[in-house]
Amino acid sequence: MALQSNDLFVVQSQGDNKLYKLRLDALLAEVEGGAGVNFKGAVDLNNPPVASGVTLPANNGDLYMVESDAAAIDAGWVMQGSETTASSGDRIIYDGDNTDWILVSSGSANAGTVTGVTASLPLESDADPVTPVISVLEARTTAAAAAAGDSKGTDGVVHRLAETADVAHTTGTADPRAVVTADLLKATNEIVNGLALSPGGVTTVTTTDANSNAALSISPTAGNVVIEVQTASDSDYGVVQIASASDVTNGTAGAGAVVDAAALKDAIDAIPDEGVQSLTEDGTDIITGALQIATDADNDVTIGVNKDTFVPFNFAALPDITA
């Protein structure tokens, strides 16, 4: 696509480092109207300036290419050096301070300045000698080129690269202007290869993940399919390994040491049917009779502390210390 006058450029100011936009026509106006040398096109010095579309006084720095030899420069072109002849390829620059033209001889008809752009297909130019617009054709099929009848052939740039959504066999866009990339083609080739190795067999393998546990991983889903079940963790579903006796003894943690029903039963069987069988007051350097211990018919044990023989229940009730 050719650049349009209202197309935007993004520029960064070196004053505040912020980003700004700049329209193409504003950029051209700035370049053509700013200080310095401004190329304006080609002129014929054999004729007055108006014949070449030049209005005097010109802008300071306006530069023109001499398009043909001038054995006698027309008097309308006031030359600063009083030159009377010019050659094709010379240039003239307007000096606004002196209101005359500076002749720059080059000795070549195309020295240093572009005077026109010729584009070869698939490139195209609008033939503007000053601000040419270059565009590039979009690539197309032989049938489309023949139908267009413009003799521009099939060469050009691609419209865009295809994505998965374009090539899905059921819901794909099938955009004829989207070019398939190698990764998409490889996925198709793997399916084709799978069909060649096993005609009529399984072509793709996927999972619906009906239980939303993401425990099963399939990649790729066609061709040389690889299926893996991930290991379970505190946050992920997956496979586990039954704990060994040493794992139970050592209290090993993780998915590689999961207790089965037999190991759990052994642990339960080791627990006494009843709780505390008896509780008595005993020990060294104790206050005998300090505890009240009672067991009822359900083997529920109650323990109390005799306040008078062990610790007073209210420190404020103790007598004051006297000398």
pLDDT tens-digit series, residues 188-234: 887 777 777 766 666 778 888 888 888 888 888 776 778 898 888 88
Residue 312 confidence (pLDDT): 53
For 40, the 3-state DSSP assignment is: strand
Distance between CA atoms of residues 153 and 205, nearest Å: 44
Is residue 2 pLDDT above 80, yes or no? Answer: no
- Which region among 60-69, 99-108, 313-322 has the lowest average model confidence (pLDDT)? 313-322
Q: Could you tell me which residue, 15 or 33, shows the higher pLDDT?
A: 15
In a domain, 231, yes or no: no
In a domain, 322, yes or no: yes
Show the domain range for 281. Answer: 276-323
Rounding to the nearest 10 degrees, give the CA dihedral for residues 195, 199, 200, 201: -70
Average per-residue pLDDT in the chain? Answer: 81
Instruction: Show the CA angle centred on residue 103, arms to residues 101 and 109, nearest 5°.
Output: 130
- Which region among 1-5, 22-26, 160-164 has the lowest average model confidence (pLDDT)? 1-5
In a domain, 56, yes or no: yes
In a domain, 302, yes or no: yes
In a domain, 294, yes or no: yes
In a domain, 213, yes or no: no
Alpha-helical regions (H) of the chain = 24-33, 142-148, 164-167, 182-197, 245-250, 261-269
Highest mean pLDDT of the ranges 29-38, 79-88, 169-178, 279-288 = 79-88
In a domain, 87, yes or no: yes
- Residues of the chain above pLDDT 70, percent: 83
Where is the domain boundary, 81, 104, 127? 104
In a domain, 62, yes or no: yes
Where is the domain boundary, 75, 104, 133? 104
User: Closest Cα partner for 215 from 241, 189, 198, 237?
Assistant: 237
Residue 323 confidence (pLDDT): 43
Residue 28 confidence (pLDDT): 66
Where is the domain boundary, 89, 104, 119? 104
Q: How many domains does the chain have?
A: 2
Residue 314 confidence (pLDDT): 55
Distance between CA atoms of residues 215 and 231, nearest Å: 8
Neighbours of 287 (CB within 10 A): 12
User: Closest Cα partner for 231 from 249, 256, 208, 248?
Assistant: 256
Is residue 9 pLDDT above 80, yes or no? Answer: no
Distance between CA atoms of residues 104 and 90, nearest Å: 6
